[in-house]
Amino acid sequence: MLSSLFCINITYTHLRLDGDKMNDNLLAKRLRELRKCHNYTQEYIASYLNIIRQTYSHYETGRNTPSTEVLYKLATLYSIPVNDLMQLTIELTPNIYYEPPATPNSVNELSNYLSYTNDPENEKKLKHLNRREKELLYYFEKLNLRDQEDILDFIRIKAKKTQFYSSND
């Protein structure tokens, strides 16, 4: 019953994890089948893993092998133990269908943020900022003038408060 819930039929096999190309291809095939079984796109999974789509695509083709951290995140996404991800043969259950997930707002937001930071017009003002400062400026510029003033007032109050507590220590 549990295996049908996740659209997989589990058969245990023993795999050697010594970098053998066959193991990479089996893992690549498993990753592709799991993704398709759940109707996830490569972009969705890449976003979930916080990597670019091409990197995830290389995992599915066997060109690159995912790190332990990535394997853990994938196992979490598919609600299976990491050991099972590495030591199972996965067969699709063809009669089970899932609705493809909606593109999360975070993917669209990330795309907009990357467009903003890579825009040549913004290059000069973002050149010397760190990631956090760029993100702050990105969201700040999305606000209307009144909200920008409110944020500036809040920052001034917080800065004075911090300065007051640090001078009294």
Cα atoms in the 13 Å half-sphere on the side-chain side of 17: 11
Q: Which pLDDT tens digit goes with each residue over 22-34?
A: 455 778 888 898 8
* pTM for this model (two decimals): 0.43
Q: Which two tokens stand for residue 133?
A: 């400062």
CA-to-CA dists, residue 13 to 8, 10, 79, 90, angstroms? 15, 10, 19, 10
Please tell me the least confidently modeled range out of 8-17, 34-43, 71-80: 8-17
Of the candidates 105, 55, 56, the one whose C-alpha atom is nearest the C-alpha of residue 77 is 56
Which pLDDT score is estimated for 147? 93
Q: How confident is the model at residue 96 (pLDDT cuts 50, 70, 90)?
A: low
Between 19 and 152, the more confident residue is 152
- pLDDT mean across residues, the chain: 76
Does residue 144 register a pLDDT over 90? Answer: yes
Residues pairing with 89 in the sheet = 11
Q: Which segments within the chain are labelled E, that is strand?
A: 8-12, 88-92
